[in-house]
Amino acid sequence: MVKKQDVLYLEPYIIEKRRYLHQHPETGFEVKETHDYIAKELTDLGIETILHVGKNSLIGLIHNGKGPIIGLRADMDALPLEEQNDELSYKSIHKGIMHACGHDSHSAMLLGAASYLQTHKDLWKGTVKLIFQEAEEGPNPGGAYEIVRSNLLNDVDSFYAFHVSSEFESGKIATKKNATFASADTIKMTLHGKGCHAAYPHLGIDPIIMQAEVILGLQLIRSRILNPLEPSVITIAKVVSGTTHNIIPDIAYLEGTVRTFSVVVREKIKLEIEKVLKSVTEKYGGTYDYSYIYEYDPVINTPSEVDYIEKVVHQTLGNNVFTLLDRPSMGAEDFSRYIQLKQGCMMWLGTRKDESTSFGLHHPKFNLDEKALLNGSLLFINLVLAYEKG
């Protein structure tokens, strides 16, 4: 395995790529410019085989003789969010779009690793599949779906990915065995009442009253129906109804997310939501429409892969860098699709150095300590160099 001093020359390259991507964010499946930029970088590195998948995802192949086949994944889409980091020279130039989840840095780290692996083939054997994925943030079914469905990854032995986080000190690595990220589903509900003048509510059926009772009723699923030892979240995040102060509308709309780690709990929540809707609307004489949309499955890290990563981190960065977590995240990741295909692990890379880098993911002032990114590239490299399971 190589040491940090062996790859210090990569740091300016990684930071340059991260800043370019940060300044030119794109969302969802509409990441054509990002796709073209990364494709050119891979070509400039001498990587001859670049497979284009889905709408704007790509897989770069580094073939280096017979040996294990390893998948390294980086997402590259941004969020529909207005950046507030006015002090940055590389602030987003696209209004209302920002890399607030660190996917710019994920791609930059993978490019850094690709550069080293391509130019140091004397140190390893096998094949590396560099996966640059669109639409991790959605929309459903997310970018990993078509990549996995393409069958281009069926021969991969293990998959690895990083996710940056301000929850951890810059450069530190953290992960968990088994359940690591939650499933993420979307719920959409329309409550149908009967509109009328707000001064005469007895002449109508108020969907806003039904809306309020449904919101409160959904929280009782978590606190009074489910086993309190089973982690889950039911959040209503979008509430729409009405046009003005003196009209009771015909309809009210609710949208939210469901998170859990258990198939049984997932199905139980789906059923109990409909029970709440039925009870409330029948009480007032209204009706409802309900959609439960399955999106991302939970990320279940393979224990053996976590053990392998811990060993590589210790040998690469020392004994005080790795943390084995005892609690999962209620966040979601479509990296689950890769692990379900074979085996793998997603890791947190800490990026918090000071107050300016302490804002959380999806915050308009999210930023990171770029010095941490070299650790990510180095570990991608050493996960390949030390791999012996193929």
Catalytic residues: 296, 370
CB 184 within 8 A of CB 296: yes
CB 14 within 8 A of CB 109: yes
Tell whether the torsion through CA atoms of 277, 279, 280 and 283 is positive or negative.
positive
Letter for the amino acid at 348? W
Ramachandran quadrant class, 138 (left: phi over 0; alpha: psi -120 to 50; beta: rest): left
Alpha-carbon distance 344 to 308, whole Å?
10
Alpha-carbon distance 356 to 84, whole Å?
12
Q: How many angstroms from the chain centroid is the CA of residue 383?
A: 21
3-state secondary structure the chain: CCCHHHCHHHHHHHHHHHHHHHHCCCECCCCHHHHHHHHHHHHHCCCCEEEEECCCEEEEEEEECCCCEEEEEEECCEECCCCCCCCCCCCCCCCCCECCCCHHHHHHHHHHHHHHHHHCHHHCCEEEEEEEECCCCCCCCCHHHHHHHCCCCCCCCEEEEEEEEEEEECCCEEECCEEEECCEEEEEEEEECECEECCCHHHCECHHHHHHHHHHHHHHHHHHHCCCCCCEEEEEEEEEECCCCCEECCEEEEEEEEEECCHHHHHHHHHHHHHHHHHHHHHHCCEEEEEEEEEECCEEECHHHHHHHHHHHHHHHCCCCEEECCCCECCCCCCHHHHHHCCEEEEEEEEECCHHHCCCCCCCCCCCCHHHHHHHHHHHHHHHHCCCCC
Cis previous bond, 139, omega within 30: yes
